Amino acid sequence: NISSLFHSGSRSSKTFKPKKNIPEGSHQYELLKHAEATLGSGNLRMAVMLPEGEDLNEWVAVNTVDFFNQINMLYGTITDFCTEESCPLMSAGPKYEYHWADGTNIKKPIKCSAPKYIDYLMTWVQDQLDDETLFPSKIGVPFPKNFMSVAKTILKRLFRVYAHIYHQHFDPVIQLQEEAHLNTSFKHFIFFVQEFNLIDRRELAPLQELIEKLTSKDR
C-alpha cells in the first residue's frame, strides 16, 4: 500500500530535509487525505483530477507539498551513493546537465556537484513552501497571482531530482528494493503535471522513454 509506505517512515530513517507538514484539521489536510484515498484505489489518472468544487491553486499546493515530501524521502535513501566523487556534476544521463541558479542569491547559473545542487534545490523549494504569502495555510488567505508560475518552477526542479535518481542511481534503488516505490511516486507526479500541464515537454526529455512506458499502460 503506497500511502503506508510514504507515511510509515520506516523506509528511511534518514530524511534529507525536514518533512513539510500540512496542518491537521485544515482544509488542505482534508484534500491531502482525499488524494491519499484515491491513490489507494490504484487509479492514478483519477487520483490527480481536481476534486469537484475545489480550488485549483489549493489542489496544486497540496500535491506540490506531497511530492516534495516524497522526493525528499526517496533521495534521502540514496544520499550515501550520491557524493561529490560519484556525481561531480548534476546530470540526468550524458546528454543533460543542470547548473544551479535561484534568481535571488545565485543569479548566474553555477556548475556544482549533484549533492550540492540537490541541497540548493530542496532548500529553495522548502523556503517557497514555508512562505505564507506563496503557500498560505490559513483558510481564506488567497493565493498570490503568480502562484501557478511558482508551482511550475518548483515542479520543474523537483523533476530533476527524479531524473538524476533514475539516470545515476538506479542500481542502489534496486538493491534497496525501492524500485516500485520510486516508479509509483514518479508515475503519480507525471500524471499530475500532465493533467494540469505544469511542466514543459522539453523539460521532461531526460525521462521521455520512461514516461511513455509508465503512462502507456494507463491510456
Q: Where are the alpha helices (DSSP H) in the chain?
A: 2-8, 27-40, 44-48, 56-77, 114-129, 147-168, 170-175, 179-195, 201-204, 208-216
| Contacts (Cβ under 8 Å, ≥6 apart) of 45 | 191, 195, 218
Q: Is 181 annotated as a binding residue?
A: no
In 10 A of CB 199, how many CB atoms?
A: 20
Q: Is 164 annotated as a binding residue?
A: yes
* 18 closest CA partner among 160, 178, 101, 127: 127
Q: Taking phi first (over 0 means left), then psi (-120 to 50 degrees means alpha), and beta for anything else, what does residue 93 get?
A: left
One-letter amino acid identity for 192? Answer: F
Q: Is 82 annotated as a binding residue?
A: yes
User: What are 94's three cell numbers?
Assistant: 550524458
Alpha carbon distance 176, 173 (integer Å): 5
Q: Is 112 annotated as a binding residue?
A: no
Binding-site positions for Zn(2+): 82, 87, 164, 169
Binding-site positions: 82, 87, 164, 169
